[in-house]
Each structure stands twice: as C-alpha cells, then as structure tokens.
C-alpha cells in the first residue's frame, strides 16, 4: 500500500460577509396553515391525510408555533393544533413572511489554481509554503502540481454559493479584505485514489491529482517531485457558464431598430422605482444630456441609478470615454444629484446591458444586445432582447456584478448590491416554466454556437455584424464556408455595416468572390446603418449579442468582454430575420 501527497496550488482569501439568517418557509408549512384553517386537528390526523412522516409534520408545526401562527390545545382525547388569527392572515400570502436575523462573520475560502473551483477552507484545507518544504525535507513523498502563471481569482456567484447555507441570504461584503495569498492543499493519494476530497471537487481536478501522484510513483527513486497539469483554465477567474433556462418567451421581447431601443430604455427608466443600471461601451456627453431629464425624474422618485462604461480596443476612443465620464461626474457632483453615479473606472467590456426593476424589487428586467445606450442616437438598426424570468435576469446580474469590480478585481459596494439583488431574485417563487431555452453567453460561448450552426444548420444561416475585418476569417468565415459546403441548399448570408479599417476594399471584394463560389453571400448594409450583432440559423434559434461576429474573436482571458443571449424558441430566428429584412427594405439599404 503506497501513500503519496499531492500539493495543489491554491489561493486563500478572507472576507467579512453580512447576511440574513433564517430558514425560509416551505410549501408544507403553508399547506398546514390551510389545513388547520379548516379546523383544529391532531398530528396523527395530519399524517394520515398528508402521507408525510410524523416527525416532519411536528417540526413544521413547531416552527409555525414559534411564529405565532399556530397554537396547541389539549382536548379530552389528544393534543390538537389550531390556526391563530395571525395565521389566517399570512396563509393568504404568496410566500409566508420571514423575520431573519442580520449577522456578520469573517469567512475564509480557497480557490484551486487548476480548475478555479472555490472551496470553503474546511473542504480543502491549506498549508503555508514552509510547511510543505519541511515535510519534503523530512522525506515525505510529496509531488507538487505546478502553479500556473495566471492566477484564477474568485467569482461572486461561486463564492456566495459555496460559503452560505440554505438558511442564509447574502446581504453584503466589506469592500476591503485581505489579499489572496498563495498556499498549498495537501491531498493524500492512497494506491492511486485521492482521499478526503469534497463533493465540490470537479472531475478534472481529481484526474490531475491522480496523474500527479502517478508521476511520483513511476519516477526512478521517486525523484520526480513536480507535475505540469495537462489542461488549465484559460480565464483569470473561475468562470461559471450560465445554464440554459426553460422560460416563457414571446417575440414581443425582441427589440429591433433604433426607435424601439429608445422606447425600451425610456420605458425602463420610467417604470423603475428602486434601482436602474446602464452599461454602455461608450458615453456621449450629448446623448447623456438628452437622457438626463428622465434620469433626474427617476432619482427624484427614489431610484438609485448606476452608470458603467466599457471600452474598445481603440485607445483614443477609450480615453475619450474616460474624459467624458470624468466631466459628467463633476457636473453631477456640482448639481448635487446624489442618486445618480457614473462610476470612474472602465469595466473593460464591450457589452451593452440595462437592468431595471419593474416597479418592485422582486421584478427586474434586463435588456441585452448591441445598443450603446448612452452613445447611440437611436437611428441605427440595433437588436436587443428583453428578459423577464427571475433566474435568467439573475444570471445577467451575476455578469454585471463581475464587471462592477473593475480591472483590479476588488469588490465594490455596487458589487455587493448586485449580488444581493441576484440572490433575492433566485429566492422568488419560480415563474411558469416555458418551452423556450434561453441562456447568457460569455466569451468563447459565441464560438461554440458558430460551430453548432456549422454542423446543424439545415435551411438558413444568417449573420449580422457592425464591422468586418480580417479577424473574421478565424471566427466566422471558415465554419460558415464549411456549413455551405456540407448542405448544398443552405441559404448562407453575412451582413456587415462597415469595414473596421483592418481590411481593404480589395480584400473584401476577394473574400466576397471567394464566398460566392461556395454559396455564401456577403453584403454591406448602409441604410439603415447596421450596428446589430446577431446570428440565426433555421427558424428556431437566435443569438443576440455585443459580439462583432465579422471583426473580433472572443478572448478566453476576458470572458465578459462580450455578453450575449441565445434563444431557442419556435420561430424566433425567422421573425428576427424578417424584421431585419423589413427594416433594410424600408430604408432602401
């Protein structure tokens, strides 16, 4: 029997969290209130009627009695339970009201640097460098997995999921905490099998631990004490790919054209009563001034407004946006408009997102797509989508929370507010599940969808992009050409608004001719000005995004530089394409 210890490179962090503690009510407790409203009864009778273990019913009744909604009374034959007047009131609520306790505590966590998975410190205990060195000097068989050059830092959603119990709800985090420190986690591997691993440990991490142990076991004299992992996460963070949500979706929530975007933005501002956030790649002083009266009204009604801005690869444009943001911040400070904050840092993202409550904190909408909300004159053809489902909107908020940390990765007060908002939405009662499959797209997810379209498109494949550049040959042209060759009758069309300057008119002409030979049509659209970024194939898939499909590849080390939405719903692709074609025909483009 052999025992080897594998040293996993980890980062250790410690933060002070604020949270509400109190187990939420279950459906059982609400059903018991309804049942007791029919008349007092015993635990035995409730058990017989509900076919639920007596112990479970007793625990639920105890909680209801502590809340003052149920009381116990002694009859001649048995102990009876009856509903109180307060219980009759709350049983009518959609959700029973809770009275949680506000608590705070410091929590330590670790992030493994192989997969980026976040653990509680007790789930993956860590030690300092000197401990590992001492045990190596004492002759203990230890093999180290090499620490990658790029650190994988914590993400807000996995952090909250890992550190809080079911009866704890995240409220906030102190913006300042200890820096992430390099540590090691020593995992015993007995006869090739890791011991004591947490259920949170992903399969990839366990496989790398086994390989590392095998390297030491198979080396001559046990001299091989380091192991280079076969695969590493490319991102700087433990990126969590948002899941596909089954939601009710109607094409009324497709926003197409400049006028519809202006209406959607102003409508979101006017309906908001608590919080509004706008993320726009660029900010124009002129466009912001045009929107300022609406924002003032919202602030006057108690709405907290946050403005985030991203950047482009063009350094001149980036500096220009930063300068405008600085000027507008000074203007708002002089005016004393406290409820409207233009944040001073660039998020580094090309995403375009609006988040706004729809009159109550429990209903929040998200607008995601191609429109630079604080830069656009709303005259271009844009495409965005309005999201309403609690879980789906929470997925979008998770991404904006990451962007709100800025380039240094520090949690801000806005980050805490957004995480708490996402947690609150996820705690709401599930909305009616629909037939549409909708998910949030990050970074390289876009390339995965292009490959899926390449392999599965049967009738049509259409792409619209604001810009066209040579980089398109990496992301789009090769798979699109392959799709056209695979399916002879496939209708493949690529539309673009302008060239990016990285490709000449001659090159575009050559590519257009080359594409035509394999049945792919490439066409510029100037009227209306095309700023939309979308991908559709066949009738039932539409991808709406900030990604310029024909000019920029996504980068693994910046997964939120582009954010989009994939919608799989009957007719959604066909309807989006029809609206685009109608706009170009009407404008003579």
pLDDT digits (tens, 9 = 90+) for 70-93: 999 887 777 899 999 998 988 888
Angstrom CA distances, 416 to 20, 101, 155, 266, 423, stand at 14, 18, 12, 26, 11
More confident residue, 298 or 434: 298
Q: Which residues of 132-149 are buried (b: 16+ CB within 10 A; e: fewer)?
A: beebbeeeebbbbbebbe
For 547-583, how does the pLDDT look when each residue is reduced to its tens digit (9 = 90+)?
999 986 666 668 899 999 999 999 999 999 999 999 9
Residues of the chain with CATH 1.10.10.10: 27-90
At residue 441, the pLDDT reads 96
What is the CATH number that goes with domain 258-379+390-430? 3.30.870
Enumerate the β-bridge partners of residue 32. Answer: none
Judge whether 327 and 388 are in contact, CB under 8 Å.
no
Angstrom CA distances, 19 to 101, 136, 170, 405, stand at 8, 41, 5, 20
3-state secondary structure of 39: coil
At residue 408, the pLDDT reads 74
Judge whether 397 and 355 are in contact, CB under 8 Å.
yes
Kindly report the pTM of this predicted structure.
0.86
The whole-number average pLDDT for the span 335-355 is 93
CA angle 448, 497, 565 (to 5 degrees): 35
CA distance 5 to 187: 5
Q: Is the pLDDT of residue 432 over 70?
A: no
Q: Is the pLDDT of residue 220 over 80?
A: no
Residues of the chain with CATH 3.30.870.10: 438-587
Q: Residue 491: which H helix or E strand, with range?
A: strand 491-499
Judge whether 117 and 202 are in contact, CB under 8 Å.
yes
Q: Which two tokens stand for residue 207?
A: 């496989």
CA distance 249 to 480: 28
At residue 235, the pLDDT reads 43
The gap between the terminal CA atoms of the chain, to the nearest Å, is 75
At residue 119, the pLDDT reads 94
Candidates 3.75.10.20, 3.30.1130.10, 3.40.50.2300, 1.10.10.10; correct CATH number of 27-90? 1.10.10.10
Candidates 3.30.420.10, 3.40.50.2300, 3.30.870.10, 3.10.180.10; correct CATH number of 438-587? 3.30.870.10
From the list 445, 450, 443, 511, the residue with the least C-alpha distance to 476 is: 450
For 239-252, how does the pLDDT look when each residue is reduced to its tens digit (9 = 90+)?
567 999 999 999 99
């Amino acid at each position: 029997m052999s025992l080897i210890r594998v040293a996993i490179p980890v980062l250790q962090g410690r933060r002070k969290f604020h949270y509400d503690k109190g187990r939420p009510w279950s459906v059982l407790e609400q059903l018991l209130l309804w049942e007791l409203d029919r008349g007092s009864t015993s635990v035995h009778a409730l058990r017989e009627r509900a076919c639920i273990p007596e112990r479970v019913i007793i625990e639920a009744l105890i909680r209801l009695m502590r809340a003052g909604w149920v009381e116990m009374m002694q009859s001649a034959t048995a102990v009876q339970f009856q509903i109180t007047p307060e219980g009759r009131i709350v049983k009518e609520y959609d959700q029973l009201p809770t009275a949680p306790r506000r608590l705070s505590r410091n929590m330590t966590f670790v992030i493994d640097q192989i997969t980026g998975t976040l653990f509680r410190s007790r789930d993956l205990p860590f030690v300092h460098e000197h401990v590992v060195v001492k045990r190596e000097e004492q002759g203990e068989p230890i093999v180290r997995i090499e620490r990658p050059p790029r650190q994988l830092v914590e993400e807000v959603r996995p952090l909250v999921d890992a550190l809080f119990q079911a009866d704890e709800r995240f409220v906030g985090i102190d913006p300042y905490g200890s820096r992430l420190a390099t540590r090691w986690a020593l995992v015993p591997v007995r006869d090739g099998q890791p011991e004591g691993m947490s259920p949170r440990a992903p399969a990839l991490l366990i496989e790398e631990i086994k390989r590392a142990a095998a390297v030491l076991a198979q080396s001559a004299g046990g001299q091989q004490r380091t192991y280079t992992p076969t695969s590493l996460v490319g991102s700087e963070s433990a990126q969590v790919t948002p899941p596909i949500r089954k939601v009710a979706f109607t094409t009324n929530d497709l926003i197409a054209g400049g006028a519809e975007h202006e209406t959607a933005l102003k409508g979101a501002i006017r309906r908001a009563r608590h919080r509004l956030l706008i993320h726009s790649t660029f900010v124009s002083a002129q466009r912001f001034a045009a929107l300022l009266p609406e924002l003032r009204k919202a602030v006057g009604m108690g709405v907290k407004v946050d403005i985030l801005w991203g950047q482009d690869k063009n350094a001149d444009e980036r500096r220009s946006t930063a300068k405008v943001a600085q000027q507008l911040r000074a203007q708002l400070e002089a005016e004393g408009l406290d409820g409207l904050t233009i944040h001073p840092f660039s998020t580094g993202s090309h995403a375009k997102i609006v988040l706004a409550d729809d009159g109550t904190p429990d209903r929040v909408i998200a607008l995601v797509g191609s429109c630079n909300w604080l830069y656009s004159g709303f005259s271009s053809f844009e495409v965005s989508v309005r999201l309403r489902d609690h879980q789906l909107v929470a997925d979008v908020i998770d991404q904006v929370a990451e962007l709100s940390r800025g380039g240094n990765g520090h949690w801000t007060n806005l980050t805490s507010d957004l995480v708490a908002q996402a947690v609150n939405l996820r705690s709401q009662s599930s909305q009616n599940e629909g037939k549409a499959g909708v998910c949030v797209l990050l970074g390289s997810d876009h390339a995965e969808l292009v490959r899926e379209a390449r392999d599965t498109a049967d009738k049509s494949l259409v792409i619209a992009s604001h810009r066209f550049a040579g980089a398109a040959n990496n992301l789009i042209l090769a798979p699109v050409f392959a799709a056209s060759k695979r399916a002879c009758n496939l209708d493949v069309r690529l539309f673009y608004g302008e060239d990016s300057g990285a490709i000449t008119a001659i090159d575009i002409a050559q590519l257009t001719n080359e594409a035509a030979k394999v049945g792919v049509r490439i066409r510029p659209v100037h009227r209306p000005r095309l700023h939309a970024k979308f991908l559709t194939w066949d009738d039932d898939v539409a991808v709406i995004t900030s990604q310029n499909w024909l000019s920029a590849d996504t980068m693994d080390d910046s997964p939120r530089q582009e954010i989009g939405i994939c919608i799989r719903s009957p007719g959604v692709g066909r309807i989006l394409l029809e609206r685009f074609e109608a706009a170009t025909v009407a404008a003579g483009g």
